[in-house]
Structure 1
């Protein structure tokens, strides 16, 4: 194959991969720099190293992109973006709405009172951050005054979350709060109508429940949350 044609093909493949993975063009080594040394036959393409598929490194790459993202207005007021954190192959991916003040200050998800309460929820069903969970939000930067994210802000962040889900492939997803549930299930229903029921997102079972901060303000939600958590535990047991 002609060397110029092969180089063009290589660049096209990289460009398509870039826009599927992060929505923008990135720098790549030339075909020769990537390790291709022969032009005699198409099997020589096997000498080009495969793109890195280590999930931990892919998640780190996404986190770096989130931290430098300027796709919407929210980057203007952030102290830190909050990409999310946890184990690489979690039993449960917990998805909230967006960072609060303490998360914005630290760059870590669910570190305030709501996060401490969430940890207690997980402990009650035998799960922990360090062994079983990945925790993040649909919005990676704090909206001013913790307001609801605007549609264009949610749209700007959604590819990051979807890529994380595709890498993590958790056994189940737990959404906490109305916004996360509405965005992932594409619904305008309130959390009261859908909490504790089973849905699916990107081929993964999903259970919505109330947000820990809402339960701290309204203790009457404790009983339904406990039912939701037991439903999640049952789902995990069914999935093995």
Structure 2
């Protein structure tokens, strides 16, 4: 699906949209990561953006990106000297107990049954290893706003109890979940007057949008109502799967 977009895909992390995604996704993910040494696998790495984000911390001994798209991997290899592997997330091409941290940003919304993938991630993680991933929320506070954004590829939305249950079945513990993207930067798309105003006041509009969403994420009654969950879970000291 992404082969045709490989050369321009990471443009979305620049400018107006890039600021939005950094504030309301990347920073939240970084805050959840408490594994600060060892080896890292980034599943669905695309152009390798999150590998580069983690590399800037200077904390990890090995960074590996995995993606099914050959064209995306070509782009990642031009941007970063780290290891990039072509492979399917449903059959991770790595031996057991290989990684201390696995990240999976923007791939779980394509998967209805998360347990098989979660089990395999459990397998490649070392004991006490950490998984951090994103997945779209079935019960988002504003369910229709996300539908206005271009290029919506959602196959599966997951509820909070569903995410917790599937992690438990796959052998993960210490689950921590927050949410983000209560509405997106395209919220006024399709309403010409409001769209024009938001574009002309782009900086003020963006900062206000980000501030409101940070507020919603901090309130107990809306904390888990964003369009996307950001999830952290751990492998027990004794591995559940061989």
TM over 0.5: no
Taking CA–CA contacts closer than 8 Å with sequence separation of 6 or more, which of the two structures ends up with the larger relative contact order?
2
Higher helix fraction (1 or 2): 1
Structure index of larger Rg: 1
TM-score, normalising length: structure 2: 0.32
